[in-house]
Amino acid sequence: MKLKRKPFDKRIFGLTTLMSIIGLVAISSASAVLSFQRFGHTNYYLTRQGIFFILGFAAMLFVSRVDYRFFKKYSPFILLISFLSLLLVLIPGIGVEIGGSRRWINLGITFLQPSEFAKLAIIFYLAAWFATRKEQVIYFSTGVLPPLVVSGAAGALILLEPDFGSTAAIALIALSIFFAGGVKISHLAGLLVTGVGVGWLAVQAAPYRLARITSFLDPQADPLGISYQINQALLAIGSGGFWGQGFGYSRQKFNFLPEPLGDSIFAVMAEELGFLRVGTILFLFIIFAILGFVVARKAQDSFGTLVAVGITSWVVFQTVFNVGAMVGILPLTGIPLPFISYGGSAMLANMIGVGILLNISRQES
């Protein structure tokens, strides 16, 4: 088989850069009120996210020049570091608790959220596992159970933070790689049913998760309590209409909509930009997904294919979770919108993931 190298996929590079810049513009508006109230000026969050964008952009370019097979060789070590960081988060005094969740490690100058990088570690590990055990994947005990245990352990640690949204994202990313890796449909069906069952038990074990499901099924059940965020998000989206209120003219960001620069940023964008413009932005994500899966199909080996599937699925699932929650067709999970929501760890992890995708696109069979 003749292999050739080429420049990386400029379309994926351009889309990622464009969506990240759109995110910075959105944050400049969505965060202005909160930034002024807390720090006395309107650009605090924009400045911090801008710094992480620059770091992430540099990391993306650097990683795009690192042969993606490097991550296959060192996937066990990367996974070990990821597990250690997830354990450190749970230790009082090391893990930083914000809003009832301990998801961050204080590095002094900033906070690190290990669960974002754990998604990459799991992708590398699962891709390496299935790429080197093609004959074993038809057997549950030797081909499916070991990576299932590893993925489940990572998900369990993240669930303890607690972060149900990231746990669900890792589960779906893993399921995508299991499917692309050749796991039997009967085994996949069993995993899906088991996953839904475990997820339901996790929901019932925490009253606030059960309340989120209740608010999803009936947003008017507690409009000033657990249903407040979804009601305010729907109000923002509805008031945006087709053309929007105009950039910077969101009313909901004035202390009405919770997390206006985090998982609710899509609602602020819809209010200001309207259905037509946010629909165009969502179309960019669809194009990204198509291009990502094309890279997976053209990858020169199975490891490259599985990594590309994992990274693309990661962006797709998080976009669906975020937007679906804001429009009321999925429960709230706190999942950020890739490249757009505020968050340094998410920005860095997403950009590194795209850098790897770009390197895979350099090499095709």
Domain residue spans of the chain: 4-364
Question: Residue 5: which pLDDT band, with cuts at 50, 70 and 90?
Answer: low
Instruction: State yes or no: pLDDT of 2 exceeds 50.
Output: no
Own/partner contacts of 138-143, CB < 8 Å, gap of 24 or more, are 138/182, 138/184, 140/187, 143/183
Residue 20: which H helix or E strand, with range? helix 10-30
What's the CA gap between 285 and 318, in Å, rounded? Answer: 11
Q: How many angstroms separate the CA atoms of 365 and 363, rounded?
A: 7
Q: What is residue 279's predicted lDDT score, i.e. its pLDDT?
A: 97
CB 335 within 8 A of CB 164: no
Nearest-angstrom CA–CA distance, 200 and 190: 15
pTM of the full structure: 0.94
- Residue pair 338/357 in contact (Cβ under 8 Å)? The answer is no
If pLDDT is split at 50, 70 and 90, which confidence band does 19 have? very high
Q: What is the mean pLDDT of residues 321-348?
A: 95
The CA-atom distances, in angstroms, between 24 and each of 20, 141, 163, 257 are 6, 47, 25, 19
pLDDT digits (tens, 9 = 90+) for 226-235: 889 999 999 9
Task: Answer for the pair 293, 312: CB distance below 8 angstroms, yes or no.
Answer: yes
* 184 has a pLDDT exceeding 90: yes
Q: Where does the pLDDT of residue 70 fall: very low under 50, low under 70, confident under 90, or very high at 90 and above?
A: very high
Backbone angles phi, psi at 294, to 5 degrees: -65, -40
Which carries the bigger pLDDT value, residue 11 or residue 212?
11
- Cα–Cα distance for residue pair 335/59, rounded to 1 Å: 23
- Radius of gyration in angstroms for the set of CA atoms belonging to the chain, rounded to a whole number: 20
The pLDDT value recorded for residue 134 is 86
Mean pLDDT of the chain: 93
Q: Is the peptide bond before 114 cis (omega within 30 degrees of 0)?
A: no
Residue 327 clears pLDDT 70, i.e. is over it: yes
